[in-house]
Amino acid sequence: MTKKAATKKKIEKYKEGVKNGDADAQSNLGTMLSNGQGVRRNDKEAVRLYRLSAKQGNSGAQKNLGRMLENGQGVRRNDKEAVRLYRLSAKQGNSGAQYSLGRMFKRGKGVRRNDKEAARLYRLSAKQGYSRAQTNLGMMFDTGKGVRRNYKEAVRLYRLSAKQGNQIAQSNLGTMFENGQGVRRNDKEAVRLYRLSAKQGDSGAQNNLGRMFDMGKGVRRNYKEAVRLYRLSAKQDDQFAQNNLGTIFEFGKGVRCNYKEAARLYRLSAKQGNQFAQNNLGRIFEFGKGVRCNYKEAARLYRLSAKQGYSKARTNLKNIIKTMKAVKKNKQKSKKLFRVASKTLRKSRTKK
């Protein structure tokens, strides 16, 4: 039997079950309609079937209906109702619902934000092997939010999730190896993990792997490969990749020097609040590289970066303020000399 024929047979079976009020059949057919699997996608009909199944206590349907309400698929978005349904499903031990409810608490969606409760729910889900929960709980141990910071525990959880192919966990674990947090520093292992994640399209991993090639960390330096990876990440609006690619174009590493392109990339990153890009764009305006020299704009950008604690920007801001004062003083001196010269010239003409 072909895969297509098997799917068709499955759909017919579920339809028959739906007629008989079978909760599992309602939930399963709803999922197939939601995913457009073997049938034309129909979110509204999926919602209707999930409701029927959820009323009978089906945990999968409760979770899926919650997701539809959270995302506004086939129904008006309603975070509070999504939370209610996730709770019902989570109480039955559904790992996906435990994760989703934890995420709602973490983000404060439909419920007051509570990192501790989010961590508790992620734990329940992670114990059942749910990779997303393992990743998110790892991040909480990594940052010390909702739990006491523990790099070793973060590494353990990232490993569990990374083994299941979770791209975010692979990238985060790579960062732990690169920085030597909770594990002995190992740039080669960091590169290996970044590669796995980057292949799945993770923008952070693409940027990090590009940076490793850029700096020659854990791999032979290769500016062309760095550029390729930065481009992939920058296309996904990764602010760090945009800034790093801007630096590549400003200094002509692996590409022809192009100040205008550097300025364009720095702008994209700076708009997202990247302190390094704000400083770099400030430098571009200060020295008129690819743009008209503009001390005021440079100072404004240095200030934005300095407010975020970037020490280089503080130094640059101090220096440009001195430069602006000196320029102003010289202008005043020039005006004074011009007035004196004009006055002298008028007097000499009068005498004649």
Query: Domain for residue 22, yes or no?
Result: yes
Which of these, 184, 206, 188, lies nearest to 197 by C-alpha position? Answer: 206
Quick one: pLDDT at residue 336? 56
Domain end, chosen from 77, 92, 107, is at 92
Query: CATH number for the domain including 45?
Result: 1.25.40.10
Query: Domain for residue 311, yes or no?
Result: yes
DSSP 318-343: HHHHHHHHHHHHHHHHHHHHHHHHHH
pLDDT digits (tens, 9 = 90+) for 117-152: 999 999 999 999 999 999 999 999 999 999 999 999
Quick one: pLDDT at residue 328? 74
Cα separation of 75 and 55, whole Å?
17
Quick one: pLDDT at residue 103? 98
Cα separation of 319 and 321, whole Å?
5
Quick one: pLDDT at residue 65? 98
Helical axes 95-107 vs 79-91, angle rounded to 10°? 140
DSSP 234-249: HTTT-HHHHHHHHHHH
Quick one: pLDDT at residue 334? 58
In the chain the first and final C-alpha atoms are separated, in Å, by: 114
pLDDT digits (tens, 9 = 90+) for 213-236: 999 999 999 999 999 999 999 999
pLDDT digits (tens, 9 = 90+) for 233-253: 999 999 999 999 999 999 999
Domain end, chosen from 58, 76, 92, is at 92
Cα separation of 24 and 159, whole Å?
34
Residues in the chain, overall count = 352
Low-confidence residues of the chain: pLDDT under 70: 330-352
Query: Domain for residue 208, yes or no?
Result: no
262 sits in which H/E element: helix 259-271
Q: Which pair of structure tokens corresponds to residue 203? A: 């923008």
Query: Domain for residue 153, yes or no?
Result: no
Is residue 173 within 8 A of residue 131, CB to CB? The reply is no
Quick one: pLDDT at residue 14? 95
Is residue 62 within 8 A of residue 82, CB to CB? The reply is no
Query: Domain for residue 275, yes or no?
Result: yes
- Could you give phi then psi for residue 158, rounded to 5 degrees? -60, -40
DSSP 119-150: HHHHHHHHHTT-HHHHHHHHHHHHHTSSS---
| Domain that residue 298 falls in | 261-321
Query: Domain for residue 304, yes or no?
Result: yes
Overall number of domains in the chain: 2
Q: Which pair of structure tokens corresponds to residue 79? A: 């975070």
Quick one: pLDDT at residue 218? 98
Query: Domain for residue 130, yes or no?
Result: no
Query: Domain for residue 333, yes or no?
Result: no
